C-alpha cells in the first residue's frame, strides 16, 4: 500500500514509479467524452463499468477486459492516454485526487454508493483474499479498522461526504447518482436511467439484454471464466464476484458491532442530507 501523506492507496498495478504517478493524477488531462465511474471500493463498480462499457459500444456483448484496465490509480498514465475514446474510466480516490481537468470539461460522472455495512463485509473479504494485502486479521478487528478508515482509500464517511459536498456546490454538474440497492431492486430501470444520462440512442430490447448480461450469476460465471487476475487471489480462487446481495452484513455483524457502526454512522453523517436507500438496522 502506498502512503500519500496519510492517504493509503493500493499498489498492485502496472506503475513503475508509483508515487510520482499517483501524485500527478490531479494534473492529468481529460477528454470531453471521458466517462468516469466514481465509487468507494466494493460499491458495485465492476457491475456499473460492465453496463456502461456495453452501453457506449452499443453492443450487448461480454466485455473481455477487466475494469482495472481503466482505473486511474492502477494504470500508468501512458496506458490510459492510449485508450480509444470514449474512455470508461473509474476510480475510488477521494474527489480532490481526481484530475481537475475532468470537472473543468464537465465530463460525465456516474457516482454510486452502497450500504456501508455491506461495503465493510465485501471489503473485508477483498482484503482477506487478495495476496497483495498480506492481510489475515479478524472480522472483529476489521470493523474497527473500517470505521476509522484504516484501510486503503480512507473512510467511507469522508468519501461519501466529499461527493455530497461536490454535488451540493455544483447542482448543475452532469453527475448521475445511483445506489447498489436500487440497482439490485430494479436493474433494468437503473440501466435505462444510465443510458438516458449518457444520451445513448437505443431500444428497450438492447437495454434488457445489457441488464441480463450484467446480472450477477452470469457476470460472475463469464468474467471468472476469462481467467484474468486469478494469480492476485489467494489459492487462485477469483473473489471479485463474491455474493452480490443486499444485506449480507446481517450474516457478519454481531448486535454489538452493528450498534457501534450505527453510532459512528450517526455521528459522522449527522450533517449529511444524503437520503440513502439502505437501512442500517
132: nearest Cα among 118, 146, 152, 148: 152
Residue 1: all three cell numbers together:
500500500
Please pick, from the candidates 10, 44, 99, 154, the single residue that binds ligand A3P as defined by CB under 6 A. 44
191: nearest Cα among 84, 64, 49, 92: 49
Chain centre distance of CA 276? 16
Active site residue 92: yes
Please pick, from the candidates 22, 42, 70, 181, the single residue that binds ligand A3P as defined by CB under 6 A. 42
Please pick, from the candidates 242, 258, 260, 277, the single residue that binds ligand A3P as defined by CB under 6 A. 242
**Binding span for ligand A3P by CB under 6 A among 10-18, 43-51, 52-60, 68-76:** 43-51
Query: Pattern of binders to ligand A3P over 176-205, x per CB under 6 A?
Result: ------------------------------
Least distance in Å: CB of 271 to ligand A3P? Answer: 26
Cβ-contact 277, 114 below 8 angstroms: no
Q: Which is nearer to ligand A3P, 21 or 50 (CB)?
A: 50
What CA–CA distances, in Å, run from 117 to 124, 132, 206, 268? 11, 24, 34, 14
Cβ-contact 216, 241 below 8 angstroms: yes
Q: Which is nearer to ligand A3P, 105 or 232 (CB)?
A: 232
Please pick, from the candidates 10, 13, 46, 147, the single residue that binds ligand A3P as defined by CB under 6 A. 46
39: nearest Cα among 96, 107, 143, 109: 109
- Catalytic (active-site) positions: 92
Which residues of the chain form contacts with ligand A3P (CB under 6 A)? 39, 41-47, 118, 122, 125, 214, 216, 219, 241-244, 248
Amino acid at each position: 500500500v502506498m502512503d500519500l501523506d496519510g492517504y493509503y492507496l493500493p499498489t498492485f498495478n502496472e506503475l513503475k514509479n508509483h508515487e510520482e504517478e499517483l501524485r500527478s493524477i490531479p494534473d492529468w488531462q481529460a477528454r470531453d467524452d471521458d466517462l468516469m465511474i466514481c465509487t468507494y471500493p466494493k460499491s458495485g463498480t465492476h457491475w456499473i463499468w460492465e453496463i456502461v462499457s456495453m452501453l457506449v459500444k452499443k453492443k450487448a456483448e461480454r466485455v473481455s477486459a477487466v475494469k482495472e484496465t481503466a482505473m486511474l490509480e492502477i494504470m500508468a498514465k501512458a496506458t490510459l492516454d492510449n485508450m480509444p475514446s470514449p474512455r470508461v474510466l473509474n476510480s475510488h480516490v477521494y474527489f480532490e485526487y481526481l484530475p481537475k481537468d475532468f470537472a473543468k470539461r464537465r465530463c460525465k460522472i456516474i457516482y454510486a454508493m452502497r450500504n456501508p455495512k455491506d461495503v465493510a463485509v465485501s471489503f473485508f473479504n477483498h482484503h482477506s483474499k487478495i495476496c497483495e494485502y498480506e492481510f489475515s486479521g479478524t472480522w472483529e478487528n476489521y470493523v474497527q479498522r473500517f470505521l476509522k478508515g484504516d484501510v486503503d482509500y480512507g473512510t467511507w464517511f469522508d468519501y461519501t461526504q466529499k461527493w455530497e459536498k461536490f454535488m451540493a456546490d455544483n447542482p448543475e454538474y452532469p453527475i448521475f447518482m445511483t445506489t447498489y440497492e436500487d440497482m439490485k431492486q430494479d436493474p433494468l430501470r437503473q440501466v435505462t436511467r444510465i443510458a438516458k444520462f449518457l444520451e445513448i440512442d437505443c431500444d428497450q430490447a438492447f437495454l434488457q439484454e445489457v441488464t441480463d448480461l450484467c446480472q450477477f450469476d452470469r457476470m460472475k460465471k463469464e468474467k471468472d471464466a476469462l481467467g484474468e487476475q486469478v494469480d492476485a487471489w489467494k489459492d487462485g480462487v477469483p473473489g471479485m464476484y463474491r455474493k452480490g446481495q443486499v444485506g449480507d452484513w446481517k450474516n457478519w455483524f454481531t448486535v454489538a458491532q452493528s450498534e457501534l457502526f450505527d453510532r459512528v454512522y450517526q455521528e459522522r453523517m449527522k450533517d449529511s442530507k444524503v437520503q440513502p436507500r439502505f437501512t442500517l438496522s
